[in-house]
Amino acid sequence: MSSTSRTVTLLPGDGIGPEVINAARRIVDACDLGIEWEECRAGKAVFEEGDATGVPEETLASIQRNRVALKGPLETPIGFGGKSANVTLRKMLETFGNIRPARILPGIETPFSDRAIDMVVVRENVEDLYAGIEHMQTPSVAQCLKLVSERGCEKIARLAFEVARSQGRGSVHCVTKANIMKLTEGMLKRVFERVAADYPEITPKYILVDNCAHQLVRVPEEFEVLVSTNMNGDILSDLVSGLVGGLGIAPGANMGLHACIFEAVHGTAPDIAGKGMANPTAAILSSVMMLRHIDAFDAADRVEAAIALTMQQGKLTGDLAPKGMGVGTEAFTEAVLDNLGKEPENWVRREHKPLVLPDVGECESVPKTRRDIGCDLFLEGRVGPGELGAKLEELAEGTALRLKIISNRGTVVYPLTGAPTDCVDHWRCRFVARDENADLRHSDIALLMSKVTEVYRMCHHEVLMENDGARAYALAQGED
């Protein structure tokens, strides 16, 4: 029995989940590693019982105790329940990094079958727009807060370099939209550049996310590891899986210091659930990632090679095979079991070393000087910009702040520009200190707010800061 003997939490999931997870479990068991499975519940049935998280306390406790879980897809019912059970697991267990490898496998026909695609997408997993902080600002304008932290960026940047190091890869691409979102997306770029100095053997590269999507379908073999913020990574990882055959063969891992959850990233496919048609490859390859995580490298290599040989032999499930030629879940699983210990022709094993998960400790920047220099008041109003601007200038009289600009959907509309801006009822009104050298007090801003809100409904406000003399907020389109 292998020294990797341990207990792993098993979440069968919903829809086709139990079928594909059972296939993965059988193949892992065939490796004779002494793994014990602790089966737990999450997903649709838990929601239906009235648990708005979709994840019972005993399931969280099992994962925290075992620190490793293999999970099937979970359904988030529409119309009841709370957030996705998948999101609950990621946030409650602080699995900050999502790892999605993609490699061309033999026997799968795609437009990229002859390309040497072998890459990994490393995605920040708990913040960004997926923090899920949304509000209706007015009855017709919604807001979603994009939160990107220096700590989150450091963890995910270091994880990407550690993935490259553990797999012997030579480069990491940082993928952002920092040309537009200079503070949020720009933070990942800045932290990435700083972290790269600690990995001198790995070449750091930088690319904008739109160009990255373009280049992935032109020259995918030029990418080894990509690291990005949460939403960009979510989109790119699905694109990358499409290059090599689709979500049916796309494994994934949610990595954290306290627990790691390995999962197929496809959905529950309720239309084929229970029919023996599901492709278990993604679940099996997720178990391969799990085996490497617990240092069972030889077993992981044997399972991965057995899948490749099975596909090279033409035994493909219906989502990958020519119409009417596919095999079922059971037949595919049996073929992989029969092929354990064998490899396809010209198969190249990628050497893996243990992956070091970064524990960054305290990393937040602390400015030497900070100064509050103004505020943005977000107001609701079905008025014109000229009328609104004139009234706000009047209301600001006698306070420490003056109106600088008003913008609508990010574009300056006051002072009047003459541009044909199609305004909605959501106005960002920027006030700055009358004294350019002042450090405003919250009471100064509160006085302005009290006068403005006597006339207009305020959605929310933001304080404008300078850190170490540098502006810590973005300018509106057209603002000096």
Active site residues: 130, 177, 210, 234, 238
By C-alpha distance, which of 161, 137, 136, 157 is closest to 148?
Answer: 157
Cα gap 408→422, rounded to integer Å: 8
> Inter-axis angle of helices 17-30 and 297-312, to 10 degrees?
120
Cα gap 217→212, rounded to integer Å: 9
**HSE-up (13 A, CA, CB side) for residue 447:** 13
In the chain, the amino acid numbered 290 is: M
End-to-end C-alpha distance for the chain, whole angstroms: 69
**HSE-up (13 A, CA, CB side) for residue 50:** 0
Neighbours of 144 (CB within 10 A): 14
- DSSP-derived secondary structure for 185-254: HHHHHHHHHHHHTT-TTSEEEEEEHHHHHHHHTT-GGG-SEEEE-HHHHHHHHHHHHHHHT-GGG-EEEE
Chain-centre distance for alpha carbon 460: 27
In the chain, the amino acid numbered 363 is: C
The two structure tokens encoding residue 401: 């702040």
